[in-house]
Amino acid sequence: LITPSLDEMVHVAREMKRRELDLPLLIGGATTSKQHTAVKIAPGYEAPTVHVNDASRAVGVVSDLLDPERRRELDQSNRDNQSRLRDLHAAKSEKPLLSLAEARSRAPKIDWAKEEVPTPSFFGRREISDQPLTELLETIDWTFFFSAWELRGRFPAILDHPKHGAAARELYEHGQQLLERIVSEKLLVARGVYGFWPAASEGDDIVLYQDESRSREAVRFPMLRQQQGSGDAPCRSLADFVAPADSGVADSVGAFAVSAGFGADALAEAFEADHDDYQAILTKALADRLAESFAEALHRRARREWGYGQDEQLSNEDLIAERYRGIRPAFGYPACPDHALKPRLFDLLDARAVGIDLTESFAMTPAASVSGLHLASPHARYFNLGPVDREQVEDYATRLGDPLDTVERLLAPSLAYDPEA
């Protein structure tokens, strides 16, 4: 699931109410939460609306809902808990936001004239038609592999966890066995595209140019800015980490889209046809890890081709801990939560030429894919955008050239206001 699906859940709940349905509604999935269910979904539907942590626990919930007495108890307890969560959310939301003008005045101050701004070894796009999987094995972050199976803990320490260690070791062994087969038999294919473009920031927009003359825009990425500041804390936007057009500094920005999912669906379907759902899920989890590893390995390559990462001597632990200069923010994540910017990125990269595409709700296909920007500034860092007010959303919609209601729908989880109120 990606964040647009959360808003779709709200819409479905309201439709169920409009059609006067009285069926219990269970909410689950990777991006869902008890708070989102309580604040956004349950108020729009009158029948029991219950968040369930994972599929295995749905059985107990449904069992209670089928028994009249236990249903009443579950429903009352659930409504009381959701009311408490809404009160907590309302208390947090009472923290005032800065005006857009004040937030912009608190942008991080960077003296670009004193910055060492690197120039990439080339401009434009390059395709990676067949990335050897063997080169991706060393940069796999196994911690998230275990998270996909609800085994919490950092790798490799999780292998000796007093409670989960035995299950983690068994899962790791099975993963290694299948991964060895995938690599030796070339059951998955990894492809990608990346590149560098002359760039500058204009206000809260990141502008990439066709060539070094900077006379024609290639693409413009409007960005959002934090508005929940405290003390003297800066209010960040990703645009802050690209030299302004009027600074006289010739900056650049990288972009990428990679996938290790070519062949994953076919392999998973073959396992499912053989009634082996475990290996099917294992296939998808490994494809996800290989895609993230591909993004990590490509970022290291990009830093070297950008000129500032040539002397890096980093271990995989260093890479996982991001002990390097620059970031690779992805659209749909906390610093830039708008998935609708992905088509602009895909058009810039011509990602579809290597087989990576988007669904109508901006999910990437194949599913085991990663895309985003490369920002080289040593000041660049990841951050959580937090809530934004209507003033900024209206400004953002104008810069995008999209209708306000469309932008509000896509940014629903980040809105500090109710568009329908």
Lowest mean pLDDT among 88-102, 193-207, 302-316, 355-369: 88-102
Is the separation of the CB atoms in 332 and 339 below 8 Å? Answer: yes
Q: Please report the pLDDT score of residue 303 as a whole number.
A: 96
Q: Decide if 385 contacts 336 (C-beta within 8 A).
A: yes
Contact partners, residue 2, CB within 8 Å, separation at least 6: 31, 332, 339, 361, 362, 363
Q: Which residues contact 149 (CB under 8 A, 6 or more apart)?
A: 171, 285
Query: Model pTM greater than 0.85?
Result: yes
Q: In the prediction, which pLDDT does 258 show?
A: 98
State mean pLDDT over 201-210.
Answer: 98
Of the candidates 224, 261, 217, 221, the residue with the CA atom closest to the CA atom of residue 343: 221
Predicted pLDDT at 93: 63
pLDDT digits (tens, 9 = 90+) for 79-106: 999 999 988 887 776 678 999 999 999 9
Give CA–CA dist 71/415, Å, rounded: 34
Section 65-70 average pLDDT: 93
**How large a percentage of the chain has pLDDT more than 90?**
79
Measured distance between the N- and C-terminal CA atoms of the chain, rounded to whole angstroms: 27
Q: Does the pLDDT value for residue 1 go beyond 80?
A: no
- Please give the average per-residue pLDDT across 330-350, as a whole number: 95
Dump pLDDT digits (tens) for 116-133.
Answer: 999 999 999 999 999 999
In sequence order, the β-bridge partners of residue 374 are 254
Cis before 68 (ω within 30): no
Per-residue confidence (pLDDT) for residue 341, from 0 to 100: 97
Return the higher-pLDDT residue of 309 and 253. Answer: 253
Which of 138, 137, 142, 164 lies closest to 151 in space, CA to CA?
164
Predicted local confidence at residue 365, as pLDDT: 96
pLDDT range class, residue 292, cuts 50, 70, 90: very high
DSSP 216-239: SEEEEEE--------TT-----GG
Dihedral (CA of 59, 63, 65, 70) sign: negative
Average pLDDT over residues 338-358: 97
pLDDT score for 315: 86
pLDDT tens for each residue of 30-65: 778 898 899 889 998 999 999 998 777 889 999 999
pLDDT given for residue 25 in this prediction: 95
pLDDT at residue number 3: 63
- Give the pLDDT confidence score for residue 243 in this predicted structure: 98
